[in-house]
Amino acid sequence: MENNLFSSNIRQQFEKLQPYLPGSGDLALRHLRHQALEKASHVGIPHHRLETWKHADLQSLSELEYKPYLHLTDVTLPEIEFYLTPHIKCSKLVFINGYYAPYLSHKLQELHDVTITHLHHLAKTQPSLLGELIEDSMQEPSFFHQLNSAFTTDGPFIIIPENYKAAFPIIIYYFILDNQQPSMVNSQTHIYVEKNASATVVEKTISLTKNPTLINTQHFIKAHPQSELHFHKMTMNSPSDYHFEHFHASLLSSSLHFSMYATGSSYHRIETNMLLHDKKANIDFCGMMIPFAKSHIDWVSQVVHMAPLCQSEQIMQSFICDHGHSSFLGKISVNENAYKTDARLKSLHILLGSQGKADSAPQFEIHNDDVQCTHGATISGLDENALFYLQSRGCSLSQSKSLIIHALMDKILSKIENIPIRTNFYHFINECLYDL
């Protein structure tokens, strides 16, 4: 009954939002969005009886009526300046409550050959392309994917052209600002790296809300042969948020260096689906979760080796506060013709208090004997021997804990090759862990 009521409310909010959606005047695009809405209503909110949702409790989500933002919210630079990345020369795209903010965004002249735009602009200049993007985003038949396809208001669209080496990063900011009622934000990020090109893209989602907010995003990455992409994501949620992030990456004999850092929220779902299509594709994938008290971060990862001679490495680490919960389901699939696969998967959950909770389930599905696949999972507190050693050398207990935590943290952050970006992420995470 509650699921039906939630679906009914979603339909009502869609009718209100539809005139404001990009490409709302295009009949084919409107039809696609209605299809996605129908699919979402038919599938319904996932139940914890489903294997990949068994750790999720979405009961309170379905009890609220979330209203989408209908237009760009007015905001001044001082309101968000603290969260911007200073002293880094970059192109930046800023989105406020799911809408592009041109007066806060900037494109470097040095990146003039790179396509850096957004979905609302595509609706005016290339509506058929926007239709293709929305249709592609509907391929996964789950509730939150279809909801996103129906409700997406905006998001970046980036193309790194063939043979182009981007000398400066592109930074995307999603700010979710407070509203007087439960709100909903849906957006999509599309990144294409053409043959023999390379780039660094950073994305930050910063929620400053006090009221419950449903944040639902999809990300699509396609890397063509001999290309290389460094993609780094930072998410700072508010305690009452429900956040659903979906990442889809398709690699064609290319390299992807992917890192993800997430904190807070009532429930934060991260889904990463990485497909290694052609031989010698490579993915280096790491993540860090910091669930605070009464928050849950649930990460479901799948890497599919579809061709020979591909490599993948996944390292996931979480620091779990008292009454926090982290869960990780990591799966590696190796197809029959994917010989000489080298796949590694490791998860480490650190309990920082006696009331934290962690779940970890590494999985393999292998259909070829000529492979090297390893996995490991650890759930523990801080190393007692290391704590004893540091205290015997004059450190206090709090200093000893801090040193160990930072040493573990550095192993993940060292994956970020851009030093100014790494330093910025380090300061942010250090602040999150300061009082733990």
Predicted confidence band of residue 353 (pLDDT cuts 50, 70, 90)? confident
pLDDT at residue 75 is higher than 90? no
| 3-class SS letters over 304-357 | EECCCCCEEEEEEEEEECCCCEEEEEEEEEECCCCCCEEEEEEEEEEECCCCCE
Predicted confidence band of residue 2 (pLDDT cuts 50, 70, 90)? low
**149 in Cβ contact with 36 (< 8 Å):** yes
0.85 surpassed by pTM = yes
Spatial neighbors of 220 by CB under 8 A, at least 6 apart, are: 133, 136, 137, 188, 189, 190, 191, 248, 249
Mean pLDDT taken over the chain? 92
Largest CA distance in the chain: 72
pLDDT over 90 percentage in the chain: 77
Report the pLDDT averaged over residues 70-75: 88
Cα 293 to its chain centre, rounded Å, is 21
- Tokens encoding 281: 């594709």
pLDDT per position as a tens digit, 304-336:
999 999 999 999 999 998 889 999 999 999 999
Residue 28: what pLDDT? 93
Neighbouring-strand partners of residue 380: 350
pLDDT at residue 1 is higher than 90? no
Residue 179: what pLDDT? 79
Looking at the 3D structure of the chain, how many domains does it have? 1
- Domain carrying residue 247: 2-433
Q: Nearest 5°: CA angle at 206, between 202 and 208?
A: 170
Closest CA to 272 of 205, 229, 220: 220
